């Protein structure tokens, strides 16, 4: 290929030329100009969720998983009890993080093709008063399910439980409004729906609980309370910041705002998703999820039943035509995943479907129809 492949993945993802060009300059990590960029990014992030009055935002070096770990160890006291609503691989990862951080953790299982149940959560909280915090993955990209954030938040608020939301794959695309949705922490990252590059997470923390987080983290680098306090005092990051990632995110946010913000981003991703599903169905493929729980972020398709199908060969044939997909994340059935996010539109999605058709032809697979 003479050009970059289009990333049909849930992040890292395809970025615009403007975003790429923003990384061509070197920045001093303590320089006033760079500190101003950091401050501007933090203000803009808070505006996206209308959280200027209720929340602080704390950026952190590393992938989004770093920020999930940081949120758990900063917000949950060591004698706390975390309930993870589990309908996929990233829920299980959150539970593993919680356990490794020494916090008591209970998994509440749901089927991976269904959204979590607020009523079941209500029953669990009524039955177990020791639970202090609930963890919800807003969009579980293991399968692509959109979980009911508002309803879960309402239950947690009624029981006065802290809610930690992994909004990694939903933030800036799916509406999240801190004025009506009560949460203690919400976690996202640069290389997702804001269409920046990977390498930085950020955590929105409710101001009312922030002071109580002092001294709870057993990690130096991932102590969000200390990170916030230092940033508020100096305008600087405590440790070497991902300078190029930050300035790329600032540029990506500028484009996000110019295009119409969250509603416009959701509209484009929804159009991408509809184009993808319609095209893939025409090739015989079947989505794993029912439309009622499908988020317009990533779509899981059942693998073709044809004996010639093998994911690695299928992946390579699509990549040769400029499109990179993801393997499936499910354990009970063979699947693959196609992302709808990034600096792409319905035209690129239609081209991706065409590449899939050509890939099937290369493999001698007549149809994407599953078994």
User: How confident is the model at residue 3, as a pLDDT?
Assistant: 63
All structural domains of the chain: 6-10+261-363 (3.90.1150.10), 17-258 (3.40.640.10)
Mean pLDDT of 74-92: 97
Mean pLDDT of 271-290: 98
> Is the pLDDT assigned to residue 1 strictly greater than 80?
no
> Is the pLDDT assigned to residue 296 strictly greater than 50?
yes
d(CA 325, CA 349) in angstroms, rounded, equals 12
User: How confident is the model at residue 371, as a pLDDT?
Assistant: 81
Mean pLDDT of 231-259: 98
> Is the pLDDT assigned to residue 192 strictly greater than 50?
yes
- Answer yes or no: pTM beyond 0.95: yes
Going by the DSSP 8-state scheme, the letter that residue 99 receives in this structure is: H
User: How confident is the model at residue 332, as a pLDDT?
Assistant: 84
Q: With bands split at pLDDT 50, 70 and 90, how would you rate the model's confidence at 302? A: very high
Model confidence over 85-134: pLDDT tens digits?
999 999 999 999 999 999 999 999 999 999 999 999 999 999 999 999 99
Model confidence over 310-328: pLDDT tens digits?
999 999 999 999 999 999 9
> Is the pLDDT assigned to residue 66 strictly greater than 60?
yes
Going by the DSSP 8-state scheme, the letter that residue 294 receives in this structure is: B
Mean pLDDT of 342-355: 98
User: How confident is the model at residue 2, as a pLDDT?
Assistant: 41
Q: With bands split at pLDDT 50, 70 and 90, how would you rate the model's confidence at 10? A: confident
User: How confident is the model at residue 4, as a pLDDT?
Assistant: 87
> Is the pLDDT assigned to residue 331 strictly greater than 80?
no
> Is the pLDDT assigned to residue 254 strictly greater than 60?
yes
Angle, alpha carbons 132-137-140 (nearest 5°): 155
> Which of helix, strand or coil describes residue 137?
strand
C-beta neighbour count of 99 within 10 angstroms: 15
For residue 15, what are the contacts with CB-CB under 8 A and spacing of at least 6? Answer: 195, 196, 197, 248, 252, 342, 343
d(CA 193, CA 184) in angstroms, rounded, equals 22
Strand partners, 140: 145
**Is residue 99 within 8 Å of 72, Cβ to Cβ?**
no
For the record, the structure tokens of 318 come out as 């699509």
For the record, the structure tokens of 18 come out as 């403007």
Helix 261-282 to helix 346-363 angle, to the nearest 10 degrees? 30
For residue 258, what are the contacts with CB-CB under 8 A and spacing of at least 6? Answer: none
Share the mean pLDDT of the chain. Answer: 97
Model confidence over 153-177: pLDDT tens digits?
999 999 999 999 999 999 999 999 9
User: Is the bond into 305 cis (omega within 30 degrees of 0)?
Assistant: no
Mean pLDDT of 22-28: 97
């Amino acid at each position: 290929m003479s050009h970059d492949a289009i990333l049909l993945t849930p992040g890292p993802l395809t970025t615009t030329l403007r975003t790429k060009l923003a990384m061509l300059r070197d920045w001093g990590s303590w320089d006033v100009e760079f500190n101003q960029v950091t401050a501007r990014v933090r203000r803009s992030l808070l505006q996206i969720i209308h959280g200027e009055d209720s929340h602080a935002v704390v950026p952190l070096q590393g992938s989004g998983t770093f920020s999930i770990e940081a949120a758990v160890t900063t917000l949950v006291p060591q004698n706390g009890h975390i309930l993870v609503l589990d309908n996929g691989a990233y829920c299980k990862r959150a539970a593993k993080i919680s356990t490794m951080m020494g916090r008591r953790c209970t998994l509440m299982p749901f089927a991976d093709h269904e959204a979590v149940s607020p009523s079941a959560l209500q029953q669990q909280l009524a039955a177990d008063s020791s639970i202090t915090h609930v963890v919800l993955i807003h969009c579980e990209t293991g399968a692509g399910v959109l979980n009911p954030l508002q309803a879960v938040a309402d239950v947690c608020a009624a029981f006065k439980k802290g809610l930690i939301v992994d909004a990694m794959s939903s933030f800036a695309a799916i509406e999240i409004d801190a004025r009506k949705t009560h949460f203690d922490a919400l976690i996202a990252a640069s290389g997702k729906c804001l269409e920046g590059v990977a390498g930085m997470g950020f955590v929105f923390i409710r101001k009312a609980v922030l002071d109580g987080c002092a001294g709870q983290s057993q990690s130096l680098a991932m102590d969000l309370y200390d990170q916030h306090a230092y940033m508020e005092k100096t305008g600087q990051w405590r440790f070497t910041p991902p300078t190029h990632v930050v300035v790329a995110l600032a540029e990506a946010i500028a484009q996000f705002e110019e295009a119409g913000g969250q509603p416009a981003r959701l509209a484009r991703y929804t159009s991408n998703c509809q184009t993808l599903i319609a095209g893939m169905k025409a090739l015989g493929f079947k989505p794993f999820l029912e439309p009622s729980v499908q988020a317009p972020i990533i779509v899981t398709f059942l693998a073709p039943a044809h004996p010639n199908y093998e994911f690695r060969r299928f992946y390579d044939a699509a990549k040769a035509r400029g499109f990179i997909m993801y393997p499936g994340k499910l354990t009970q059935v063979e699947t693959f995943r196609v992302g709808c996010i990034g600096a792409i539109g319905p035209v690129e999605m239609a081209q991706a479907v065409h590449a899939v058709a050509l890939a099937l032809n290369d493999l001698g697979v007549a149809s994407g129809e599953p078994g």
